[in-house]
Chain A
Amino acid sequence: MNNNENTPLLEVKNLKQYFDINVGVFKSKPLKAVDDVSFYINKKETLGLVGESGCGKTTVGRTILNLYKPTAGEIWYNGKQIKTKADINEFRKKATMVFQDPYSSLNPRMTVADIIGEPLDVHNLYSTKEERRERILELMDYVGLNSEHASRYAHEFSGGQRQRIGIARALAVNPEFIVCDEPVSALDVSIQAQVINMFDELQDKLGLTYLFIAHNLLVVRHISDRIAVMYLGKIVELADAEEIYSRPLHPYSKALMSAVPVPDPQVARANKRIMLSGDIPSPLNAPSGCPFRTRCPHATEQCAMETPEFKEISKGHFVACHNIDKIN
């Protein structure tokens, strides 16, 4: 079963991540950053994860890599559940992460070579110093960094170059799976294009699988095979990228898609922009039932009572909404 082409590379089942937040002196309350999320990612595929800031995207990525211990839920990798310390350690040689902030994700007291070489050091992936050096230079070449810069410090580089260093670090262990947590959102638009293009090339060259987190829909559309839309700790819709752009079903996805600028003025006029009223509620006081109901133009009584099920509407198209048929 392990190497069956049909088993997804990564499968997440009912993942929950609650943070205990102190409210008052002795009371604490769970903040449901991720609440019952399930999805899978096939080999060499890219799953885009979009949603407003604070909806729990980063937490999903970090919990998958066990940087936070999941409150509940299962993570399966290559047909095997990641559970024990040994599993996690093994998993960390195959799954890595690119961080959002290219400034705080690189240690200012380490040279580029040491930053990129850290995973090699941790996992003892070389036998001689020369081997380590060669591997680091190879990685720098992959991401388009000049090998002469190996002994420089991270603060000497621009944002785009820093993000390349972060990507080289993520590639060091020869991973199969990379969580990319808004890797371009801190960069200039012109640099964004270069870096995304690089992610694309690396995927083809090294056969990588990505969970690609972004709040910019354009970015995800370009790189993703499938897209998951997240709202307040829950995935509300998941479908093929093309499908979700052309036929979004969940009212939240519809609103998000309508905010994407379209170049054709006729189409643009036809697609009236859907404005959402109100703000995203705090995950500390999430609404009962459907998390989106407080801002949903179609909300009914049922939405306040029951949490909608995450159902497969058509093949590969999942939605969590009570009123799908009525709305569409």
Chain B
Amino acid sequence: MRKFPINMHLNVDSFLPASDAEKEYMVQMRPSTTFFRDGVKRLLKNKIATISFIMIIIITLACILIPLFWPYKYDKQLGISLGKPVDPTYANLRPFEYGETEQAKIAAGETVFPHIFGTDSAGRDYFIRVVYGTRISLLVGFFASLIVLVIGMTVGSIAGYCGGKVDIVIMRIVDIIYSLPDMLMVILLSAALNNSGLDKLIQGTVLEKIGLNILSLFIVFGLLYWVSMSRLIRGQILSLREQEYVLAARACGAKPGRIIKKHLMPNCIGVVIISTALQIPSAIFTESYLSFLGLGVNAPMPSLGSLASDALNGIHSYSYRLIIPAVVISLIVLSLNLFGDGLRDAFDPKLNK
């Protein structure tokens, strides 16, 4: 023993180095798992989240793959063919009914692909329109969330990391944006954009097909909806910045870039992914009710909201045309929300401490 022997409760013998056997005993540990693998395991245990995830995959695959082989086009009015008068028998077909020329073909022994959901009032196959509408809704949800993520993350991490005056200024701007009525902004923006000559600019691009309204929706998401994301990320970075491991990295001379990349990002990425996942359904929902109000995609491109809106005209005779897109929206939003909740339960370290 060096210096003073301990004369108190501590037994001097316990200051001897551990024997090999003791060391061996101390290294009994459970098999190594990474944080990610742990989370996935917990996620898979959650039946509701797993089912929701499968549901999302099925819906996504369906709206990518079905248009590839479906014999009808979403904007093809089946009653109209070149050089012939309009055939009115194609409009408003009920599920599994056929138009006149199709019935003739069937009578001649040919097989005709059925109209599973019938056709709409303009004689377009309704099933493929629902598929396209789902596609649009998913795309809008995904890209709007991506915009929110990129802007929110950049602004939030700058505010959180720099702190001080920068933080105060950014957060006051965020507060102001928070207080703007978002729906009013969407409506005003789409009106402003429609008169801005932007439509000429986007002529011939994919954006034209989707329409200015959706573009203004994206812009509004980009301008307004990032604020809650940036608040969340700022809070995360602020609390992570005070962690001792960040201090330890600074104590050994690590530069800010390294600290952000190695210490701050990996520790808040879980929360970021989760809130992005939860952002998607809210974007889809917004798009749907804007389309329902007539501020969504440009005709003839359908979206689930505009399909539901069109169906209102024939709600008594053709109520299924309203029910189908409504059910699809609910399914998508519900499974995304449940999956997002599952993600949070599985990956948020604060809940599984």
A-side residues, CB < 8 A to B, are: 62, 65, 67, 89, 92-93, 96-97, 99-101, 104-110, 118-119, 122-123, 144, 146, 148-149, 151-153, 155-157, 161, 166, 169, 172-173, 189-190, 193-194, 196-197, 200-201, 204, 218, 221-223, 225, 241-242, 260-263
Contact = CB atoms under 8 A, between A and B. Distances in A.
Given A107-B267, A193-B15, A201-B17, A92 B253 contact: yes
Given A107-B245, A222-B3, 6 more contacts: A144-B18, A172-B252, A193-B10, A193-B11, A222-B6, A263-B7
Contacts of B254: 118, 122
Q: How large is the interface on B (under 10, 10 to 19, 20 to 34, 35 or more residues)?
A: 35 or more
A157 B15 CA distance: 21
Contacts of A65: 251
Nearest to B8: A218
Contacts of B23: 144, 146
A70 B14 CA distance: 40
Given A109-B35, A156-B29, A222-B3, A67 B247 contact: yes
A99 B244 contact: yes
B76 interface: no
A268 to B, nearest CB: 12
B14 A149 contact: no
A106 B34 CA distance: 15
B4 interface: yes
B42 interface: no
Question: Counting chain B CB atoms within 10 Å of each CB, which of A93, A194, A242, A263 scores highest?
Answer: A194
Contact of A193 (B14, B29, B251): B14
B253 A123 contact: yes
Contact of A99 (B17, B27, B247): B247
Nearest to B10: A193
7 contacts: A62-B247, A96-B252, A104-B243, A108-B349, A109-B267, A242-B4, A260-B8
Interface of B: 2-4, 6-11, 14-18, 23, 26-27, 29-30, 32, 34-35, 243-245, 247-255, 258, 262-263, 266-267, 349
A144 B19 CA distance: 11
Question: Counting chain A CB atoms within 10 Å of each CB, which of B2, B9, B14, B245 scores highest?
Answer: B245
B32 A151 contact: yes
Summarize B's interface: helix, strand, loop or mixed.
loop
Nearest to A61: B251
A193 B9 CA distance: 11
B258 A122 contact: yes
A146 B27 CA distance: 7
Nearest to A192: B10
Contact of A105 (B4, B32, B248, B253): B248
B6 A153 contact: no
B38 to A, nearest CB: 9
Contact of A104 (B6, B27, B245, B266): B245
A213 B183 CA distance: 58
Nearest to A100: B244
Contacts of B262: 107, 110, 118
Contacts of B15: 193-194, 196-197
A172 B252 CA distance: 10
Contacts of A263: 7-8
A152 to B, nearest CB: 5
Given A89-B253, A108-B349, A123-B252, A101 B244 contact: yes
A46 B231 CA distance: 46
A190 B14 contact: yes
B1 to A, nearest CB: 9
Question: Counting chain B CB atoms within 10 Å of each CB, which of A155, A189, A197 scores highest?
Answer: A197
Contacts of A194: 14-15, 18
B251 A96 contact: yes
Q: Which 9 A-B pairs have the closest CB atoms?
A: A105-B244, A119-B252, A109-B266, A92-B253, A107-B245, A197-B15, A104-B244, A146-B27, A193-B14
Contact of A149 (B4, B11, B17, B27): B27
Contacts of A172: 252
B30 A156 contact: yes
Nearest to A198: B17
Contacts of B26: 161
Given A92-B251, A106-B245, A221 B4 contact: yes
B261 to A, nearest CB: 11
A97 B251 contact: yes
Contacts of A262: 7
Nearest to A161: B26
Nearest to B245: A107
A200 B267 contact: no
A161 B253 CA distance: 24
Nearest to A179: B251
A201 B247 CA distance: 26
Nearest to A115: B245
A218 B267 contact: no
Nearest to B36: A109
A197 B244 contact: no
Contacts of B267: 107-109
Contacts of B248: 97, 99, 105, 118, 166, 169
B32 A156 contact: yes
A189 B27 contact: no
Nearest to B27: A146
A74 to B, nearest CB: 20
Contacts of A200: 2
Given A144-B18, A146-B27, A222-B6, A173 B252 contact: yes
Contacts of A119: 252-253
Contacts of A149: 27, 29
Contacts of A173: 252
